[in-house]
Amino acid sequence: MSIHGVLGESTSYPKTYQPDTLYAIPRSMGRNEINWQDDKLQVGVDWWHAFEVSWLNPQGISQMAIARFGIPASSPNIVESKSLKLYLNSLNFTEFESWEAVQQTIAKDLAACVGADVEVSLFELDAISSGSEADTGFLIAHPKGKCIDKALDNSEIKVELVEHPDAKFLAEEGQSESVSNEAEKEYQLYSNLLRSNCPVTNQPDWGTLAIDITTSQYIDEAKLLSYILSFRQHNGFHEQCVEQIFADLSQRYSPSKLMVRAWYTRRGGIDINPCRVSDSSLLPKPSRLVRQ
């Protein structure tokens, strides 16, 4: 097995409970590439939503649920996505006494993989679709603030394809450092054009990116969009991309408050939604967008 586990390899799906299927990837692999203060990237959560969770009750009847896993950004590892899919499939024909037993088992196994406590919640499909559990965040939400996807429409800028994202896209032309305004301003901006590639399979990952930032620096929406588009050919895991953006915005704009979060589209029945904040009090509730 490679350092990326089973991702990108042909595999057989287990039919019995196999917690050792879970494969850990050190967060340091991505953070070393960012080359910024590691501790400032450890405030936040990666929310994983799994839509194909099933097991057997004591009667041998299949049970079905939607799951949310909250993995703290301070954990030393993330879990490889395909290994998680295989692990969840290993529960399909395993009997559990109760929903609570399933939840506790998954929490225990994920914690052992990522090296930190993981919040695991299971939701009944009927309860979500009826709207009685709207506060769980599974009903379709919308990003807050202003969409910047048309910020370049009236400019003559040609957006070139680049292999790696570069914070220089954020800088004003001929300007190496930010110029402060008189007072801080809060920006709520989002884009549906975030795209990167899986570093193992090279398959595209699409997502919506939201930025809530309070800064005395002027934010040029066109340049911010150019920066987001520079990720289009970047090979990086979801978590690493969000952390790269968080680090670059922090260094460019010196914000007093910052939240960067992404909602990535689903693959293999699982979507990944990393969120990083400058202070834990800024952490939002998990949610789900229309493309998910």
Q: What are phi and psi of 65, to 5 degrees?
A: -150, 160
Catalytic (active site) residue 147 = no
Reported as type and span, the H/E element at residue 83 is helix 81-89
Point out the annotated binding site for NADPH: 81-82, 267-268
* Cα-based torsion angle of the residue sequence 71, 72, 73, 77 in order, rounded to the nearest 10 degrees: -60
The active-site residue, picked from 46, 109, 205, 212, is 205
Which residue in the list 113, 198, 241, 275 is annotated as catalytic? Answer: 198
Widest distance between CA atoms in the chain: 70
Token output for 64: 């079905």
Q: Which residues are annotated as a binding site?
A: 79-82, 238-239, 267-268
Class of residue 57 by CB neighbours under 10 A (exposed 0-12, middle 13-18, buried 19+) = middle
Burial class (CB in 10 A: 0-12, 13-18, 19+), 214: middle
198 among known catalytic residues: yes
Beta strand 180-197 with 146-147: parallel, antiparallel or unpaired? parallel
Which residues are annotated as part of the binding site for substrate? 79-81, 238-239
Which of 219, 223, 225, 245 is CA-nearest to residue 234? 245
Contact 242, 274 (CB under 8 A): yes
Residues annotated as part of the active site? 198, 205
